[in-house]
Chains A and B, each alone.
Chain A
Amino acid sequence: MWRIVHQFGSPPWVYRFCDRVIPWLLPLTVVALLVGSAWGLLFAPTDYKQGDSYRIIYIHVPASVVALAGYYVMASAGLVSLVWRVKLADTAMRAAAPIGAAYTAIALVTGAIWGKPTWGAWWVWDARITSMLILFFLYVGVMALFEAYENKTIAARACAILSLVGTVNIPIIYKSVDWWYSLHQPASIKFTGSSAIDTSMLYPLLGMIVTFYVLFALLMMLNIKQSLTQEYAHSAWLHKRLND
């Protein structure tokens, strides 16, 4: 057990791990994304109430779900970096921020595009949507804060604190549709009890959610590998790895 924990703290080991996984995970994820999108766009049945605009669900829900999950990744990496001063943890924290920002942006933009034909408005200052916008600013804030400091050790610490403080926003996003009167509908998929969605729509949706999770992991590895290449440009292990 401790050996595994120890390995995840070792830059050469993590670099090699990313290097091995990326070549097969990358094509697999791209194919899964294309198949999942085609399924949702062309093969799933039309919604009897919303018509075909509902097809945005196959990207909007996965992006939103993983944008939230990604925040846990960033905040827990921030916690590890703050408490145990593991350098790789702040590499992971910084790797998660732009991916989370991209996913949140997708959730917001596709939500706006879906809102127009469904609610009649691109944007409403509703609890769910506003708290998602705050999530976007938190991700972008972590990215900007890191660049703002000359001293990267202090920068990483400040980012870790910001991401931990921002965790307050997560339960607010989850509960926003229950706590406040909202245009946004509550979750249709439930882990306990039956979901309020037919299997012909549920399966492509679950497939896309899994794919977005895998894509998040893939992007994490790509970003971590990029950071390690930058940070260890003068290290013997990296030179050896590149010349092999």
Chain B
Amino acid sequence: MYFESIGEALLMGGHGGFVWSAYGITFAVLTIALIRPLVSTRSLNATIRLRSARQSNLSEGDS
């Protein structure tokens, strides 16, 4: 590591607040961008599976 201690790495010579908040915001935005389509696809898939299960139940009931 370039820094002597964890404390120094957090402080970054007085610029720690700027650097860490920039990384924090970036990771927050990227995490949202990643999770949003994953969650949405999962819930869509659940709806599709439920509907097709219901349909196959209905057609079984007919016969």
**Which chain A residues border B49 with CB–CB below 8 Å?**
242-243
Cross-chain contact of A37 among B12, B23, B40 (Cβ < 8 A)? B23
Binds B, one of A78-86, A109-117, A133-141, A157-165: A109-117
Q: How far is the CB of B58 from chain A (nearest CB, A)?
A: 15
Determine the distance from Cα of A98 to Cα of B29 in the docked complex, in whole angstroms: 11
List the count of A-B residue pairs having beta carbons below 8 Å apart: 100
Are the CB atoms of A106 and B25 closer together than 8 Å?
yes
Determine the distance from Cα of A109 to Cα of B14 in the docked complex, in whole angstroms: 19
**Which chain B residues border A223 with CB–CB below 8 Å?**
37
Instruction: Tell whether A214 is near chain B: CB-to-CB under 8 Å.
Output: no
Q: How many residues of B contact A (CB 8 A)?
A: 32
**Which chain A residues border B29 with CB–CB below 8 Å?**
102, 105-106
What is the chain B residue whose CB lies nearest that of A216?
A: B33
Q: How many residues of A contact B (CB 8 A)?
A: 42
Interface of chain A, main secondary structure: helix
Are the CB atoms of B2 and A42 closer together than 8 Å?
yes
Binds B, one of A176-184, A187-195, A225-233: A225-233
Are the CB atoms of A60 and B22 closer together than 8 Å?
yes
Interface centre among B18, B23, B52 (most CB of A within 10 A): B18
What is the chain B residue whose CB lies nearest that of A232?
A: B48
Cross-chain contact of A41 among B14, B23, B40, B45 (Cβ < 8 A)? B23
A residues within 8 Å of B by Cβ? 26, 33, 37, 41-46, 51-53, 55-56, 59-60, 63, 98-99, 102, 105-106, 109-110, 113-114, 116-117, 215, 218-219, 222-223, 225-226, 229-230, 233, 238-239, 242-243
B residues within 8 Å of A by Cβ? 1-3, 9, 12-16, 18-19, 21-23, 25-27, 29-30, 32-34, 37-38, 40-41, 44-45, 47-49, 52
**Which chain B residues border A239 with CB–CB below 8 Å?**
48, 52
Cross-chain contact of A98 among B1, B3, B14, B33 (Cβ < 8 A)? B33
Cross-chain contact of A42 among B1, B21, B27, B33 (Cβ < 8 A)? B1
Identify 7 residue pairs between A and B in the complex whose beta-carbon atoms are under 8 Å apart, listed by A's number: A42-B1, A53-B18, A109-B25, A222-B37, A226-B40, A233-B44, A243-B52
